[in-house]
Structure 1
Amino acid sequence: MKNKDHLLILCLSLVSLTISFGQQNFTHSYYPSLSKQVRIINEFGFSLSDDYSNLNNLEDPKIDQWLKAQDSLAEEYFSKNDLLQDYQEKFEEYQNRENGTISMIKVNEERNYFYIKYDHISGTDKLYFKKNLSADEVELFDPGNYDDITEVTYLEPSFDGDKIAIGYQSDENFSSRVRIFDVKNKKFYSEVITNINPSFGGIEWLPDSSGFIYLYFPVVDQNKPDYKKNSYSVLHTLGNIPAKKMKVFGNSNTVNIPADFYPKVKIGSSQDKYIIGYSATSNDYYDAYFAKVSDIVSGNANWIPFFNVEQKVYTTEGEVRGEEFIFRQGNNTGNQISRIQFHSPNFNNPEVLAEGTKENPITQFNVTKDHIYYSKSKLGVEVSLWEIDKEKNITKLKTPFVPGYVTFFGGSVKTNHIGIELDGWISNHTRFIIAEDKNLQKEGLKTETFYPEFENLIAEQIMVEGHDGVEVPLSLIYDPNLLNSQNEVFIYVYGAYGESLSPFFYPIILDWAAQGGILAFPHVRGGGEKGKEWHIQGQKTLKHNSWRDLISCTEALIDKGFTKRGLISLYTYSAGGITAGMAVNERPDLFSSYIAEVPRLNPLGLESSATASSTSYLEYGTVKDSLEFAGLVKMDPYFNLNSENKYPPTLILPASQDDRIPLWDSGKYIAKLQSISGEETPILMDIDYRYGHEGQGNDETVMLYSKIFSFARSNMRQYH
């Protein structure tokens, strides 16, 4: 999540009660002034008024000044919000409770451990190494000794464990820098890799660890028309200068990859003889090709078509094991784990090893030398763990608690060693090794941290009837001893890209429930809680199901006596801005406040712009199609703001360095909302001028959530 440092005063009147932040009316004249520059959009029979089209020009000094004034206004508000400091102190204590916090743990197939650990003495995050889990810890690298590396954001060790790629932020918004560290000699190789973004495609080490392949972006400047487009995968051999990189996969005479797709590759183990190349998008299914490793290294790449999107092979999850290819695949009733012979592939009629249903789909899998492990997630929150042996026997593994989320680590077709991390709404994330007897043994690398504050909390999932009769899962966390109809509710919603809102243990968020509130997580359509179809039902022209599911869940909280109107704060992140923003547009009366972090609020504008997020049209629709254009109009929170509505207090938290959603997206929404809002309703935009769409330090995270929760709680009020 993100951070922002800013403020303004809020007068909260509960009837005649004034909270201690001071008295201030939020009238139109109070907000920074900005002249309208109206642009009329006439397309496919629509006539739309883009009232603040001038905000698209972020290079305009007047626009820059207006944005900074908005940020200062938010700064003023939070400087006078007494709750902010209380939250800060509490959240810092939660963060500091995990002394020597370990993060970014990477385990390669040699069972070498690499991880970042915070050093409280030096105040820096250092890189450490263990030859194996029981070996002594060795400090490898301290960013404090380097002027250009302030924060490590990415790690990828080689298969042999002798090298590790270390990523960190560069001066460009989108591109990172990656350097290769020599583990034995504790020094960097000379080369510095640029024009790379590990979120889109990181380092893929060659099987012999002599070099690697990565996704190269020729244009990383957001102001240029080919920004993020025409990328291709390149081979870099250790010791060479980056300029000698060799293009190995991308659009060519033999491989057809559109300019806005991402031609990235995967190498699964040191035993791989083949490299899989993917035409990657924001969709679940890709086209794929394969080539011999030896041909790639010699400069004679011969890419052979492997599978296509119609064969429903999930993303880059497939694993090569000897002469077989094991993969997750969609089907008419849910999904399955399938297997084909590499040199006689039949993706339309593969060998099926395990199956998942729409409401209990297979969500992850990992392949070892003799086994296949996979997880299923019932309605997005109840995970079960399974093993397939050599004879294709399936065994359910026993877990110490019912997890809500699982991730595998350290698995490789070279060995049978594999680990797993389990997480839940109220169960702290814990790492285990799967032993030969199928039992889970605690890994023990990280010291367990206890939070007695949350011992009384329970998590449950209820089903809510949606606007069209479809049942929508709604997860709730609360203390049953404090439950009554006056509970303050904090809703977190997403609902996009088929991503399930899976359970996660996070003390800063759980604190809301520990203080007597209710945490609510609606699993709306657009997510993946009920499989691929659940995602499709919240895409493009069906996107309205996402926000109407949210409205149904919010109404159910009131109808079932969990809370009352005026005690419900709505929070979202990124693509969830469409779901939440449109719910607020249609039912502003339901929410006491609306908070959105790096949100997408003007999807029609973004899909029309040169800075569109490449393949995001696959999720939302394209402006080139009349039906999908109509869908974009219908789902656009900015264009659907209504001057007749009484909107709740609103806090928008964009990032100036965001490579996916430009600052004007939030700016236009705030400008229009401020122009129609009434008195005593704070409409604020708190801009993060340091970070991008994701990733920040502990201090920034504490400040961010202190603002989010102080804003939410400050604006609780009951309607009479």
Structure 2
Amino acid sequence: MKKRNYFMFLWWSLVSAISAFGQVEHVPFQYPQLSKQVKTQTKFSVELKDDYSNLENLEDKEVVDWLKAQDSLAEAYFANNDLMEHYLEKFSDYQKLQNGTISMIEVNEAGNYFYLKYEDSSSINKLFFREYLSAEEVELFDPKNYKDEISEITYLKPSFNGEKVAIGYKNDENFGSSVIFLDVKNKKLYSDLITNINPAFGGIEWLPDSSGFIYLYFPVVDQNKPGYKKNSFSVLYKLGDSQEVKKNIFGNSNTVNIPADFYPKVNIGSSQDKYVVGYSASSSDYYDAYIAKISDLISGKANWIPFFTQEQKVFYNQGEVRGEEFIFRQGNEKGNHVASFKINNPDFDNPEILAKGTKDNPITQFEVAKDKIYFACSKYGVEVSLWEINNKKKKKQLNTPFSSGYVTFFGGSVNKKLIGVELDGWTSDYTRFIITKDGDFRKEGLQQEMLYPEFDDLVSEQTMVSSYDGVEVPLSLVYKKGIELNSENEVFVYVYGAYGESMSPFFSPIFLDWAARGGILAFPHVRGGGEKGKDWHKQGMKTLKYNSWKDLIACTEALIEKGYTQKGLVSLYTASAGGITAGMAVNERPDLFSSFIAEVPRLNPLDLESSATVSSTSYLEYGTVDDNTEFIGLVKMDPYYNLKETLYYPATLIMPASQDDRIPLWDSGKYIAKLQSISTGNKPVLMDIDYEFDHDGLGNYDETVRLYSKIFSFARSNMKNESD
């Protein structure tokens, strides 16, 4: 995605391939050549031929040069596409509205506000502070003044008392980040510097007295070295301690059994907590957990007691200590519930049930305040309801200011009565509210409200589509009110379907622009996500993964059969784990899609799970190569191995990241190399590589604009009305 102008002789093959309107002409693409290194393997009586196994050696000069040439080819394509320039201008206008606004807001237990604010003059986000919401704003930290000049703050975690704040940023390591610490009152940095940490996996957990913290330490963060991301452990650190000595207080030991590729992280919820809960974290919804007294940890006498197991279906870190009570979200046969018991008498089989969710309308999250508990339900992943449980354990539904499709809580603490909530929807802008003691909603007002009159007449609807096996799949649509829903509509499909994550509604001017121009946005809520509860996730896992892409195919077919669009006018977009869902849908029904666009996608899951360098728990989602049945499932879900020479594939844009710690660059490279080798038409098959950022794509406003300008210009450039 970053412009790398190597091998500029490739430009000539693109200049004549794109017309003045960005439409692809009938000119064959000439792709960079790479010699094949075929590797044949037989396992569980299945023979597989890997044509481009040499791409797994990312240090080979031929491979490096080939990747650079692929990136240059993609950059040349966009440099000659007038639609790209049009989107750059339009999306820049949207982002300018956001510049100067506030982001990464953190509200601690004391009610202090910490947040980033973008400054146009320096083109960077600075850290600001308010003692309380209506207090005067104070600039705390300018990243450019740091000795190493931080380009972007990526993490914030204030202490409970607000006297200190942890500030994270990316360093040169592939996986690791660095964290520094600021004295809020004096606006001075402590000398402490924490490395080998990745806040996406486990951040800073401040001790109740804010004197120090616990964090997840990774001994190896270089993906080229043995033990990468494995054998992590939680470290107790007091500010001023020696950084050479790592006080391992939670990790694999004689009393705690945590696999090498799991993550032993902890949770401390408030300054009043007497207990700390430690989790054996993975990609699963359910963890094993242990509990210990914080005083024992600090004294160096950690005594971890088994607390619950995966079989008891407690949702990962959704458990909160309030005094001597433990409140948690737990799965059950009918959906899930919020429950509690006394810590000195734990009973996960027969807890006190506080609220129930169903399979179609599960409880998705909860937050504990001083005298109340708040929780949210999400019907089919897109229709949110908010609830309150008072100190007498009576429930009531709260009336939200607008119909919301997404919600998250903020600022909650067992020491505070007030709590905040963020609401969002397909056509309703993200807004933050404070829930009053009477259950009313008051706008927080910290962020400036943006007005987008061009989206006022957009509407959203949800319909149910019958999949290949009769199962009803939710499908969300966004379009302009009053448009003719006929076969001339251009459709942009965004799908995911993995890890139990719901495709929840989000307000994005960049995405809504498609609908404002008269197109249709479509969001299939396929199996593998969490829209209809845990079972919905299970039905799209491992050997049942095929349900995910068959649901996507069914939703696409339904749009065509209903006359909302036609073949040739449907662009498919996905990211990360969604690469399997989308990639296999394209393999089975390439005729349905005008283009396939995938950002940091997983396209070769079999070889990734077979790789000696893999060090994640993704096998819990997709299956392991060491099990006969799950191995066959991996073969069947692998977009790379299931590419067929006899098919005509749509225009394809794959956008991997060279610094990706989860999906290596060769995963996308092998897919592109094979697809280009079998492509016989004139549709572009491109790989645009991000040489700077990682899987999460952390970048500034300009990078976001450029990324989505490529995605939407590619989608629209490759629309082809079949009736033409």
Q: Same fold (TM over 0.5)?
A: yes
Deviations along 1:357-406, whole A, 9 cap, x unmatched?
00000001000110000000000000000000011110100111110000
Shift of 1:612: 2.1
Q: Paired residue for 2:92? A: 92
Q: Paired residue for 2:604? A: 602
Shift of 1:482: 2.3
Deviations along 1:106-126, whole A, 9 cap, x unmatched?
000100000000012232210
Q: Paired residue for 1:334? A: 335
Q: Paired residue for 2:704? A: 701
Distance 2:514 2:174 in 1: 34
Shift of 1:240: 1.5
Residue in structure 2 matching 1:628, options 626, 630, 635: 630
Distance 1:44 1:11 in 2: 49
Shift of 1:242: 1.6
* 1:188-337 to 2 correspondences below 5 Å: 188-337=189-338
Q: Which amino acid aligns with 2:465?
A: V
Q: Which amino acid aligns with 1:294?
A: S
Shift of 1:579: 0.1
Deviations along 1:496-552, whole A, 9 cap, x unmatched?
000000000010010000000000000000000000000000000000000000000
Q: Paired residue for 1:683? A: 685
Shift of 1:11: 6.9
CA distance 1:191–1:289, shift in 2 (3 Å): same
Distance 1:205 1:484 in 2: 54
* 1:609-688 to 2 correspondences below 5 Å: 609-688=611-690
Distance 2:3 2:393 in 1: 51
CA distance 1:151–1:99, shift in 2 (3 Å): closer
Distance 1:269 1:606 in 2: 40
User: CA contact under 8 A between 2:234 and 2:248: conserved in structure 1?
Assistant: yes
Residue in structure 2 matching 1:501, options 500, 503, 506: 503
Deviations along 1:177-230, whole A, 9 cap, x unmatched?
000111011111101100000000000000000000000000111012210000
CA distance 1:371–1:20, shift in 2 (3 Å): closer
Residue in structure 2 matching 1:9, options 11, 14, 22: 14
Q: Which amino acid aligns with 1:122?
A: S
User: Which ranges of structure 2 fall in alignment gaps of 5 or more residues?
Assistant: 6-10
Secondary structure of 1:94's counterpart equals: helix
Distance 1:689 1:462 in 2: 40
Shift of 1:340: 1.2
CA distance 1:160–1:676, shift in 2 (3 Å): same
Shift of 1:18: 8.5
Aligned alpha-carbon RMSD (Å):
1.4
- Is residue 358 of structure 1 aligned with residue 359 of structure 2? yes
* 1:234-633 to 2 correspondences below 5 Å: 234-485=235-486, 486-633=488-635
User: CA contact under 8 A between 2:24 and 2:717: conserved in structure 1?
Assistant: no
- Is residue 63 of structure 1 aligned with residue 63 of structure 2? yes
Q: Which amino acid aligns with 1:718?
A: N
Distance 1:299 1:11 in 2: 70
User: CA contact under 8 A between 2:313 and 2:332: conserved in structure 1?
Assistant: yes
Secondary structure of 1:338's counterpart equals: strand
Secondary structure of 1:165's counterpart equals: strand
Deviations along 1:20-49, whole A, 9 cap, x unmatched?
56857335xx11010110000100010000
Distance 1:10 1:609 in 2: 39
Q: Which amino acid aligns with 1:599?
A: P
User: CA contact under 8 A between 2:3 and 2:72: conserved in structure 1?
Assistant: no
Distance 1:523 1:263 in 2: 32
Shift of 1:3: 7.0
Distance 2:103 2:431 in 1: 13
Q: Paired residue for 2:8? A: none
Distance 1:234 1:614 in 2: 20
Distance 1:698 1:704 in 2: 10
Q: TM-score, normalised to structure 2's length? A: 0.97
Secondary structure of 1:679's counterpart equals: coil
Q: Paired residue for 1:112? A: 112
Q: Which amino acid aligns with 1:592?
A: S
Q: Which amino acid aligns with 1:648?
A: P
Distance 2:108 2:661 in 1: 30
User: CA contact under 8 A between 2:337 and 2:356: conserved in structure 1?
Assistant: yes
CA distance 1:613–1:469, shift in 2 (3 Å): farther
- Is residue 136 of structure 1 aligned with residue 139 of structure 2? no
Shift of 1:9: 2.9
Deviations along 1:279-335, whole A, 9 cap, x unmatched?
000000000001111110111100000000000000111000011100000000000
Distance 1:483 1:155 in 2: 47
User: CA contact under 8 A between 1:4 and 1:700: conserved in structure 2?
Assistant: no
User: CA contact under 8 A between 1:4 and 1:653: conserved in structure 2?
Assistant: no
User: Which ranges of structure 1 fall in alignment gaps of 5 or more residues?
Assistant: none
CA distance 1:466–1:4, shift in 2 (3 Å): farther
Which 4+ residue blocks in structure 1 deviate beyond 6 angstroms? Answer: 2-8, 10-13
User: CA contact under 8 A between 2:154 and 2:168: conserved in structure 1?
Assistant: yes
Secondary structure of 2:548's counterpart equals: helix
Q: Which amino acid aligns with 1:545?
A: N
Q: Which amino acid aligns with 1:327?
A: F
CA distance 1:425–1:63, shift in 2 (3 Å): same
Shift of 1:98: 2.6
Secondary structure of 1:317's counterpart equals: strand
CA distance 1:288–1:627, shift in 2 (3 Å): same
Distance 2:701 2:553 in 1: 33
User: CA contact under 8 A between 1:388 and 1:394: conserved in structure 2?
Assistant: yes
User: CA contact under 8 A between 1:9 and 1:23: conserved in structure 2?
Assistant: no
User: CA contact under 8 A between 1:12 and 1:715: conserved in structure 2?
Assistant: no
Q: TM-score, normalised to structure 1's length? A: 0.98
Secondary structure of 1:535's counterpart equals: helix
User: CA contact under 8 A between 1:613 and 1:661: conserved in structure 2?
Assistant: no
Residue in structure 1 matching 2:717, options 691, 714, 717: 714
Shift of 1:144: 1.6
Give the paired residue count.
714
CA distance 1:434–1:128, shift in 2 (3 Å): same
Secondary structure of 1:244's counterpart equals: coil
User: CA contact under 8 A between 1:115 and 1:128: conserved in structure 2?
Assistant: yes
Stretch deviating more after TM superposition (419-428 or 482-491)? 482-491
Shift of 1:614: 1.2
**Greater RCO between the two (CA within 8 Å, min separation 6)?**
1
Secondary structure of 1:133's counterpart equals: coil
Distance 2:77 2:331 in 1: 49
Deviations along 1:422-443, whole A, 9 cap, x unmatched?
0000000000000011100000
Q: Paired residue for 1:41? A: 41
CA distance 1:536–1:616, shift in 2 (3 Å): same
